[in-house]
Amino acid sequence: MYMLITIFLTGFFAVLVKLFVIQVRDAEKLQEMARIQYESREIIHPIRGLILDRNLSILASNVTEYTLSVDPSVIERPDTVAQFIAQALGKPYKVIAQHFRDTTVQYAIIEKRIPEGIANRFDGWSCYGVRMRSNPRRRYNFNALAGPVIGYTNVDNRGQSGIELEMNKELSGQEGFIVYQRNARGSRRPEVDYPKVEPVNGRSVVLTISQVYQSIAEEELAHGVELHEAESGRCIILQPKTGEILAMANVPSIDPNKLAEYSPEKARNRVVTDLYEPGSTFKIVAMSAALNEDLHVPEDRINAEGGKWFYNSKLKPIVDDHPYASLTLRGAFEHSSNIVSAKLANELGDERFFKYARNFGFGVKTGVELPGELPGDLRKPLDWDGTTLNYLAFGYGLAVTPLQIACAYAAIANDGVLMRPFIRKWLLDEDRNIVDENVPQVVRRVVSSETSRIMRSFMQGVVDSGTAKLARIDGINIGGKTGTSQRLVNGSYSDKSHVASFVGFFPVEDPEVLILVILDAPKRGYYGGSTAGPIFRNIAMRIINSSSNFAKKPEPLYASFKGSDEVRVPNVKGMRADIAGQVLKAHGFNMETVGRGEIVADQVPAENAMSERRTPVTVRLISATRSGTGDLVRVPDVVGMSLRQAMNFIKSMNLEPSPMGSGLVRSQTPAAGEYVPRGTRCTLDGEARIVTANLY
């Protein structure tokens, strides 16, 4: 009997040991196995972050679309269900009913990409076996605007190119999930005990791009490409002091909303991905290096060999298009002498020339946050032969990206300091707090402040009296350099196919904006000065007009308007055309319109400029749909207007004015430039405030 007791107790003990192993030692592992068995997770997609321009205009936003699917094998009364769905979708009953016919399948998609409005008709209606699933989709509010820069996403809402690709991780956020409990047969019910893990929505990316500058650049570039029958065009607008990229235009381009209509190579942001031989714009290296190394002073005369220099009797001579017997350094730069440039490069020698080229940023990536950037091709002196340096001096025998040229010139504009270009300004969280900021970064000082000052004056000479006279704008000093290079066609330089470019900045005294325009293979005219120069001028002109910065300081354009009867031009940008007419009339101006549409995009003269009464103010109209930023409205600046005017203006923007006091508007909330939902109340504080009359 004791033996039995012992055996039994051993049995109990064995069970306890095993229980301990299972329930205590291995518990974690088994709990995980159990969880996998009975939990089923449904992913909740986070909202993809927005892409905004520097003024918080929404460039890329999200729309929700729905997919309606059915499980015909479980639907009890398919005809009634089909009837309802047909009615809701506005489709013939027959088309819908055919999806229900095959009761052996468990999943049939009835309709994809159902917009929210139609999907709402299914609210409150549910039927076992019918499933409405939401899919987020990207919408690009300005269509083709900055298409290759912004990029696009695939069906899974994952970035495929441009900023969408480069910043995909930040934009995506983190998925959340709901846990369902599942039984061994696979049927599910929500598990109340498990908290739903909310998704972390993506960060919004604020670009340094200005939607205004970008559209100006794209319009003018497209116009120029058309005018000169060029194959394609590229343009960058940079802020030289910071390296911020204000615009990056490609022609042709894509509309990421309608990808299917475009061939994929048009999606490339060729400003950073495609190389070219810079030609004369590269002369900046030899010239600034020669000055910086104190080899010459600007007025030194160099023998220009009468336009043909046989630096080696066995080889082809270096030729200048415009022959001179001799040129000063300044003259050589203004007239873009290849011979003088080559001579200066020879004086510098291989190593020094290479060092300066490298220091200007050639042959290395700029590090801009854009996918597919190329470093370009600048060989090391070891690989050079006897002719390499001579040709490098005027921009042949190397390959650069447009962004590298723009940055090199920006260094001259920025007192000799090269800045790292950047396109992402901020990362914002859901509540629009800044979580990450890109600050301007100095790469290195390339040339001395003195050298850069001299170079700027050379460049001003190029525009004022050199090869780029067509880029001149009265009243503002512009510096720049033209470039015209023959393109390699089938391995030899073609005199039929050129790359024409112009890079310039203004005002020379304190450069704020740098613009590079490149035309690939223009058929009408090929000199950079005559093709890219005017495009630069058009862009610069509109930038100057659209911004009070430039108008205020030198007030260049409208100096001629100065007279006895001049008044400040009101800001009518963003107003409806009829309201703008009234506002201008109230100020004593006549309105002239260009373009078609309902909304004023631009005005000349710009706001706050002084102009004579009864002169015309030209406004460019665009259609409202193009300027729409979804449900958000940008609060206009109404400070200084009369209350009545301000109220009209506010109303015209679909906002609700709420005036206080009387007289002119002294302050406004929300502040001008903010984006607020339509119908938001805007409080306008008049100068003379009568508190008792304040009914709000």
Residues that bind another protein (CB under 8 A): 1-5, 8-9, 11-12, 14-16, 18-20, 22-24, 26-27, 29-31, 33-34, 37-38, 181-185
CB of 141 to another protein, least distance (A): 48
CB of 126 to another protein, least distance (A): 21
Cβ closer to another protein: 11 or 115?
Answer: 11
Residue 513 half-sphere exposure, CB side, CA atoms within 13 Å?
25
Cβ closer to another protein: 76 or 383?
Answer: 76
**Read out DSSP for 247-261?**
EEEEES---GGGGGG
CB of 146 to another protein, least distance (A): 52
Cβ closer to another protein: 27 or 624?
Answer: 27
CB of 631 to another protein, least distance (A): 45
In contact, 148 and 221? CB cutoff 8 Å: no
Going by the DSSP 8-state scheme, the letter that residue 97 receives in this structure is: H
Reading the block at residue 574, the tokens are: 């963003």
CB of 107 to another protein, least distance (A): 23
Cβ closer to another protein: 12 or 696?
Answer: 12
Reading the block at residue 554, the tokens are: 């030198």
Burial 110-135 (b: 16+ CB within 10 A, else e): bbeebeeeebeebeeeebebbebeeb
Tell me what percent of the chain is helix, strand and coil, each rounded to the nearest 5: 35, 30, 35
Cβ closer to another protein: 5 or 382?
Answer: 5
Cβ closer to another protein: 194 or 311?
Answer: 194
CB of 31 to another protein, least distance (A): 5
Cβ closer to another protein: 182 or 365?
Answer: 182
Cβ closer to another protein: 18 or 158?
Answer: 18
In contact, 399 and 273? CB cutoff 8 Å: no
CB of 198 to another protein, least distance (A): 24
Asked if the bond preceding 534 is cis, omega within 30° of 0, the reply is no
Cβ closer to another protein: 16 or 109?
Answer: 16
Ranges of H-type helices in 360-448: 388-392, 402-413
Going by the DSSP 8-state scheme, the letter that residue 47 receives in this structure is: P
Reading the block at residue 379, the tokens are: 């060989």
Reading the block at residue 370, the tokens are: 């854009």
Whole-angstrom distance, CA of residue 244 vs CA of residue 425 = 8
CB of 211 to another protein, least distance (A): 54
- Own/partner pairs for 308-317, CB < 8 Å, 24+ apart? 308/339, 309/339, 309/342, 309/343, 311/342, 311/346, 311/390, 312/386, 312/387, 315/387
Cβ closer to another protein: 6 or 103?
Answer: 6
Whole-angstrom distance, CA of residue 72 vs CA of residue 399 = 61
- Relative to beta strand 301-303, strand 130-140 is unpaired
Reading the block at residue 564, the tokens are: 């006895």
Cβ closer to another protein: 15 or 109?
Answer: 15
CB of 2 to another protein, least distance (A): 7
CB of 180 to another protein, least distance (A): 12
**Read out DSSP for 547-585?**
-HHHHHTT--TTGGG-STTEEEPP--TTSBHHHHHHHHH
CB of 43 to another protein, least distance (A): 22
Cα separations (Å) of 81 from 106, 122, 401?
A: 16, 12, 59
CB of 24 to another protein, least distance (A): 6
Cβ closer to another protein: 19 or 109?
Answer: 19
In contact, 605 and 545? CB cutoff 8 Å: yes
C-alpha dihedral, 355 to 361 to 367 to 370, nearest 10°:
-150
